[in-house]
């Protein structure tokens, strides 16, 4: 099985890990509450008992959550740090956000409004905003980064699947925020080369006619 990006497995694992533990604890708390409400219902006429507390129990239910959240933190951390270090052989695409569209620029100067990238090749996306703050979000890749003016954020990914995936703006940016969608199209290496050649020729032809 391939993943849409290098992050998917780690993010999904951390999510499932935390959700599973949380779900178990939620069920435990809920069942105890419901059980106590029925068992010790006033209608049964049992005399209540004062129990002021129990230090052993307090220590246990402080220590166990501490022990549980440490791996939660850890799995979140490892899936994240990878994103800080784009591989040396990454291809760079410059993504420019403005109200309310995206423009993508490739190393040789080609510009498009849909992003095209080759499969299995690390792609570093430089995030530039020319007006307000936006956010570059590809749900299928589990990546998101704010596109803040004057602050050159970046995000990188390697896509193992070909196909077309949504890019959304995830930081509120005004009137047409919800229409600020684009796509990232992942092509086989050879198809990508063909595509880039056609785009480059088009660009050069346009330059000559001007």
Q: Which is nearer to another protein, 39 or 88 (CB)?
A: 39
> Whole-number minimum distance, CB 78 to Cu ion, in Å?
30
**What, of Cu ion, another protein, none, does residue 33 touch, CB below 5 to 8 Å by kind?**
another protein
What's the maximum distance between 2 C-alpha atoms anywhere in the chain?
94
Through-space distance between the first and last CA atoms of the chain, rounded to whole angstroms: 48
**What, of Cu ion, another protein, none, does residue 18 touch, CB below 5 to 8 Å by kind?**
another protein
Calculate the alpha carbon distances from 21 to 13, 34, 69, 72 in Å: 12, 20, 10, 10
- For Cα atoms 171, 179, 131, give the angle at the middle one, nearest 5 degrees: 50
> Whole-number minimum distance, CB 208 to another protein, in Å?
36
| Residue 51, both tokens | 């129990």
Q: Which is nearer to another protein, 30 or 204 (CB)?
A: 30
Q: Which is nearer to another protein, 66 or 208 (CB)?
A: 66
> Whole-number minimum distance, CB 38 to Cu ion, in Å?
52
Q: Which is nearer to another protein, 110 or 186 (CB)?
A: 186
Point out which residues bind Cu ion (CB under 5 A). Answer: 134, 169, 173, 180
- For Cα atoms 178, 181, 185, give the angle at the middle one, nearest 5 degrees: 160
| Residue 119, both tokens | 């499969």
């Amino acid at each position: 099985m391939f993943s849409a990006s290098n992050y998917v497995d780690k993010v999904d694992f951390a999510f499932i890990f935390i959700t599973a533990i949380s779900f178990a604890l939620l069920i435990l708390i809920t069942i105890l509450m419901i059980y106590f409400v029925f068992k010790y219902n006033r209608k049964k006429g049992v005399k209540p008992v004062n129990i002021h507390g129990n230090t052993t129990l307090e220590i246990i239910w402080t220590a166990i959550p501490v022990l549980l959240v440490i791996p939660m933190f850890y799995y979140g951390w490892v899936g994240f740090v990878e994103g800080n270090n784009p591989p040396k052989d990454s291809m760079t695409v410059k993504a420019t956000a403005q109200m309310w569209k995206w423009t993508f620029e490739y190393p040789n100067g080609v510009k498009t409004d849909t992003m095209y990238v080759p499969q299995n090749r690390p792609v570093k996306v430089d995030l530039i905003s020319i007006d307000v703050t936006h956010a570059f979000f590809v749900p299928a890749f589990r990546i998101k980064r704010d596109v803040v003016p004057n602050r050159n954020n970046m995000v990188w990914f390697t896509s193992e699947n070909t196909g077309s995936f949504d890019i959304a703006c995830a930081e509120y940016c005004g009137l047409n925020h919800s229409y600020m969608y684009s796509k990232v199209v992942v092509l086989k290496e050879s198809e990508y080369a063909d595509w880039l050649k056609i785009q480059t020729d088009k660009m050069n032809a346009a330059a000559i006619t001007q």
